[in-house]
Amino acid sequence: MMERPVASVSIDLDNLWSYLKTHGDSAWESWPSFLARAVPRLLDLLGEQDITATVFVVGADAVRDDGAEAVRAIAAGGHEVGNHSFHHEPWLHLYSVSQMEDEVARAEEAIVAAGAARPVGFRGPGYSVTDDLLAVLARRGYRYDASTLPTWIGPIARAVHNRSMPRGTRPAKGQEDLFGGFSRVRSPIRPYRWDTDGGPIVELPVTTMPFARVPIHGSYLVQLYQVAPWLARAYLDAALRLCRTTGTAPSMLLHPTDVLDRHDAPGMDFFPGMGVPAAEKIVLVRSVLDRMSRHYDVVGTGRQVDQLPTLLPVVTARGATAGRNR
């Protein structure tokens, strides 16, 4: 019997405060959280399909009680815990090398102190990554980065986001690079290896639809669901069919907002899809995981990297710029 191909599922555990902060809402300064509602729902959905995934955790959450409890629950479920930076600032690419090192190191320490293993995978907030950051990760012994989203719609998503910001609020410095630029369309969809000044490190892109290079992650599917539930499912089916046809092993990204609604996340009416009831979102995510499990052995990003071929295409990181990876 032939082994089934491998796909992965990861969750960026962005918290309520981080969404408000990026949106320019000063309410973030009270550090509101929805982890106590989101994490059990996500873990239950993964457990239904017997999937051990990867959860990228923000260090500033891991040091708080509900965040540390979430980390313990994630690790106890056998899931990998990855590093999602300490402060979750999408303009991480503006940091100096020493600041980047501090962001990575502080998040590592917080995650380990909360009860998980030292992370070996990293995802930059807002898909923010540069050659300097990649070199920092390689020097610190990370096996992979998962910060790239190879699509052409980043600037469109950024424009929509900026228009939704509170009146009189200006995008933060560096936010002109939020979600990447049009050059992302040239980024590889399949895994490859960065050649950095700190050594080699594998890049596992968040999968976009082959050829069309449009997102297929959970938040995008929720937006399609708002148009018509059948459209979201048909779109995902088409994407998975193209992945199988082209031999592209999908890496699916989910967020807490994929299982929450506006009642769970006060102040987030600006975020697409928050008007969809949480119960309907949960059914949609369950459908996503079920559809993937029909065709793939679904694992976390770290395990997917473990099973990659030794020889991968190599991309030189030197010259990679803020959110615009080659």
Q: Is residue 30 part of a domain?
A: yes
Q: Is residue 322 part of a domain?
A: no
Q: Is residue 321 part of a domain?
A: no
For residue 321, what pLDDT is reported? 45
For residue 325, what pLDDT is reported? 32
Q: What CATH number has the domain bearing residue 139?
A: 3.20.20.370
Provide, rounded to the nearest whole percent, the portion of the chain with pLDDT above 90.
79
For residue 322, what pLDDT is reported? 38
For the cut 50, the answer to whether the pLDDT of residue 326 exceeds it is: no
Please, which pLDDT band fits residue 324 given cuts at 50, 70 and 90?
very low
Q: Is residue 1 part of a domain?
A: no
Asked if 204 and 194 count as a contact pair (C-beta separation under 8 A), the reply is: no
Q: Kindly provide the residue ranges of all beta strands, DSSP E only, lying in 29-114, ordered along the sequence.
A: 54-57, 80-83
For the residues 214-230, what does the mean pLDDT come to? 96
What SS3 state is found at 55? strand
Please, which pLDDT band fits residue 90 given cuts at 50, 70 and 90?
confident
Rounded to two decimals, what is the model's pTM?
Answer: 0.92
For residue 183, what pLDDT is reported? 57
For the residues 210-229, what does the mean pLDDT come to? 96
For the residues 15-32, what does the mean pLDDT come to? 95
The DSSP-derived string for 150-215 is --S-HHHHHHHHHHTSPTTPPPPTTGGGTT--GGGGGS-SS-EEEEETTEEEEE-PPPB-TTT--B
For residue 3, what pLDDT is reported? 81
Task: At 50, list the tokens.
Answer: 């017997």
Task: Give the type of residue at 43.
Answer: L
For the cut 90, the answer to whether the pLDDT of residue 1 exceeds it is: no
Q: Is residue 324 part of a domain?
A: no
Provide, rounded to the nearest whole percent, the portion of the chain with pLDDT above 70.
87
Q: Is residue 119 part of a domain?
A: yes
Number of domain units in the chain: 1
Q: What confidence tens digit (pLDDT) does each residue in 124-178 have?
A: 998 888 999 999 999 999 999 999 999 887 555 554 544 555 555 555 555 555 5
For the residues 176-205, what does the mean pLDDT come to? 82
Helix (H) or strand (E) holding 277: none
Asked if 324 and 177 count as a contact pair (C-beta separation under 8 A), the reply is: yes
Q: Is residue 193 part of a domain?
A: yes
Q: What confidence tens digit (pLDDT) does each residue in 27-46 have?
A: 999 999 999 999 999 999 99
For the residues 197-209, what does the mean pLDDT come to? 96
Q: Which residues, other chains included, contact 75 with Cβ-Cβ below 8 Å and sequence gap of 6+?
A: 81, 115, 116, 117
Domain range for 202 = 6-316
